[in-house]
Chain A
Amino acid sequence: MAAEAQTRATQAAPSLIGSSGDTLREAFGRALAEIARENERIVVLDADIAGGTGTHHFRKEHAGRFFQFGIAEQNMMAAAGGMAHVGLVPFVTTFAVFCLRAIEQARLSIAYPRRNAKIVASHPGLDVGPDGGSAQALEDIAAFRAIPGMTVISPADPIEMAKATAAVAAHVGPVYMRTGRSPATRLFEDDHVFEIGKGQVLNPGTDATIVACGVEVARALEAAHLLEADGLSVRVVNMATIKPIDAPLLAACARETGAIVTAEDHNVYGGLGGAVAEALAQSHPVPIEFVGVHDRFGASGEPAELAEAFGLTAPFIADAARKAIARKKRGIS
């Protein structure tokens, strides 16, 4: 089902599109190792979890630039600020929940001094799967988004992950970027363009817009396909940069489609949904429905089962779109 929708969405459809691809963390790790060949200032900081974050690729190729900090995330995060201060470009990598553990270090020692340091968080959201609720960060986008000057990015597929990694390395300033644990649906061709702060329309539509990030982008495309069967034309936007949010694109979508659905593997409070609502409240208020985890902790299970159980799959997104469209028709914003 997903494959079908995405194949249509991206028109020219070579075999890989829609297939279950690489994990985002592996895509990140490979891309970083490659980018670091050109930029010798890039270093990686790890907290005994390189096999999980994808940075084992970097370690293999650039052992002298790989710094092991042990299971001590607070020291690692603040030390990254110090390393940036003396001219390095540190990529601090651990699981998203452990980034939350060191968020105060990210705030004071990275963001406040505007360090050119990158925090790359693997294992976000329900996508973590069997490790369960303790390991599933559903708050990280909200928390890091609230830190002044912090760019927040959540790419959707392995190709975009690689492009985003290059963009993040080239960007000067603090960044928080989510990768992902599970194999991700391949959505893009090799010539995909990623630009920090720019959303991208993946599927045209006029009745509503689904704005999604991360693993929810593939599900949003699938939802658009389901809705098409109802005779509804629904636009899908990949909003890989959550901060700074692409406000002009959002305003255009609100104006042109009149109803919005946000979809993210994150608490519905404060994440992509919050960012979209904040932007549209100021520019073009329209009905908005929020797909995400409704203020609960996660649980053990396979990612697909969890997505179903917590209401993140395409049918839930489609229902939310129908609701938003109905509200639009009733003139309720």
Chain B
Amino acid sequence: MLPAVALPHRSPEPLSFQGEHLRRLTALARIALEIRRLSLVGIYHAGSGHPGGSLSCADILAALYGAELAISPAEPQDEGRDRFVLSKGHAAPALYAAWAAVGLLDPAQVKSLRKLGSPMQGHPHVLDAPLAETSTGSLGQGFSAAIGMAIGLRHRHIPARVYTLLGDGELQEGEVWEGAMCAAHYRLSNLCALIDYNKLQSDDLNANIMGLEPLADKWRAFGWHVEELDGHDLGALLDALRRASEHGKGPSVLICNTVKGRGVPFMEGKPHWHGSVKIKEDEIFRALAALGMGEDEIREAVHGG
């Protein structure tokens, strides 16, 4: 496994220096790769979990935890920290992997995913894992909780920002649109929602279950600052996040076009890998190889303690 990567510093001003920018993107790409690997290792050891939706949001989480979020590894519970809420709580393996990839969690811990006594429950629970900020798993609720945090932080004059990641299928929950109305009404410019728009949900394509389009128009009509981007393009993510933080008029939503299962060809775009599925031994070997790990490294990740 790759060693944990140090947190790059968040810089409020646009990145002008090309070399620094490239180094930064390379570091983030490494974090994203680590998130993908650790997610699958965790799910493999757990015997169940959601690989597809964990892989699709790996780059988004890398951009957030690797660059955007102001969270001090020394004081991760500082009142002034930025908050991130994984509203699509079933992508918990990717969340834990992201913490591990940026040094907020011991990477060995991801192997305890979903096990009795582990703080890494199948869906994030804030009392077990405080970085989760709230408990999620019931789609729609993390978004509302994030809205409550944004309202509360502003009320208390704490300048922190709140970020939350939703699935596209999750947008079918009525609560999300209650929240969308609410955040716009309160002009929550300290709130940024990101949508992992991988076009798939549990059983099938969004379009076959309950169509979402025109999605950007919906959010615009609700009064949000909307950006549509490639959710696997780290540079585009950083740029959109910066614009969101500079948009002082209200909440922002980044509609991130992604591929479910991204990075592991045999999982890409296949509803089967939505999970909760068991990854078999030959599958984990193939998947980690596709993610650039060598034989020995894989053996260590799969069979090591």
Contacts and interface: CB of A to CB of B under 8 A. Distances in A.
B140 A109 contact: no
Interface in A49-72: 65, 67, 69-70, 72
A72 B181 CA distance: 10
B155 interface: yes
Contact of A74 (B79, B148, B156, B178): B178
B182 A69 contact: yes
A85 B134 contact: yes
A287 interface: no
Contacts of A77: 144
Nearest to A67: B151
Interface string A64-96: 010101101011111111111111101000000
A100 to B, nearest CB: 15
A79 B144 contact: yes
Interface string A24-63: 0000000000000000000100000000000000000000
B141 interface: yes
A70 B155 CA distance: 19
Contacts of B140: 74, 78
A310 to B, nearest CB: 33
A8 to B, nearest CB: 49
Contacts of B136: 108
A113 interface: yes
Contacts of A87: 79, 152, 156
A255 interface: no
B181 A85 contact: no
Task: Please indicate which of the listed interface residues B127, B141, B147, B175 has the most CB atoms of chain A within 10 Å of its own CB.
Answer: B141
B145 A114 contact: no
Contact of B127 (A65, A78, A80, A114): A114
A257 interface: no
Interface string B168-200: 000000110011011001000000000000000
Contact of A86 (B125, B135, B138, B158): B158
Contacts of A43: 152, 155
B207 interface: no
Interface string B118-161: 00000001110000011111101111111111111101101000
Nearest to B175: A74
Task: Please indicate which of the listed interface residues A65, A85, A90, A105 has the most CB atoms of chain B within 10 Å of its own CB.
Answer: A85
A319 interface: no
A87 B138 CA distance: 23
Interface of B is mostly: helix
B134 A82 contact: yes
Interface residues of B, number: 35
B125 A82 contact: no
A112 B144 contact: no
A104 interface: yes
A72 B126 CA distance: 25
Nearest to A115: B134
Contacts of B144: 74-79, 82, 105, 109
Nearest to A43: B155
A75 B152 contact: no
B138 A104 contact: yes
A206 B100 CA distance: 65
Contact of B148 (A72, A78, A108, A114): A78
Contacts of B138: 104, 108
A230 to B, nearest CB: 53
B127 A75 contact: no
Contacts of B143: 78
Contacts of B153: 86
Contacts of A108: 135-138, 141
Contact of A75 (B126, B135, B156, B175): B175
B148 A82 contact: yes
Nearest to A86: B152
Nearest to A79: B148
A36 to B, nearest CB: 14
Interface string B69-102: 0000000000100010000000000000000000
Given A75-B175, A108-B137, A70 B152 contact: no
B134 A81 contact: yes
A116 B143 CA distance: 19
A81 B185 CA distance: 19
A82 B175 contact: no
A84 B133 CA distance: 11
A85 B145 contact: yes
A83 B151 CA distance: 7
Nearest to A102: B175
A74 B180 CA distance: 12
B178 A88 contact: no
Contacts of B141: 74, 78, 104-105, 108-109
Nearest to A73: B178
A76 B174 CA distance: 13
Contacts of B126: 85, 113
Interface of A: 43, 65, 67, 69-70, 72, 74-88, 90, 104-105, 108-109, 112-114
Given A74-B174, A76-B178, A88-B155, 15 more contacts: A72-B175, A72-B181, A75-B144, A75-B178, A79-B182, A81-B145, A82-B144, A82-B147, A85-B126, A85-B133, A85-B149, A86-B153, A86-B156, A87-B156, A112-B135
Identify the 3 closest CB pairs spanning chains A and B, nearest first: A82-B148, A79-B148, A78-B144
11 contacts: A72-B178, A72-B181, A75-B147, A77-B144, A79-B144, A80-B148, A81-B148, A82-B144, A83-B151, A105-B141, A113-B126
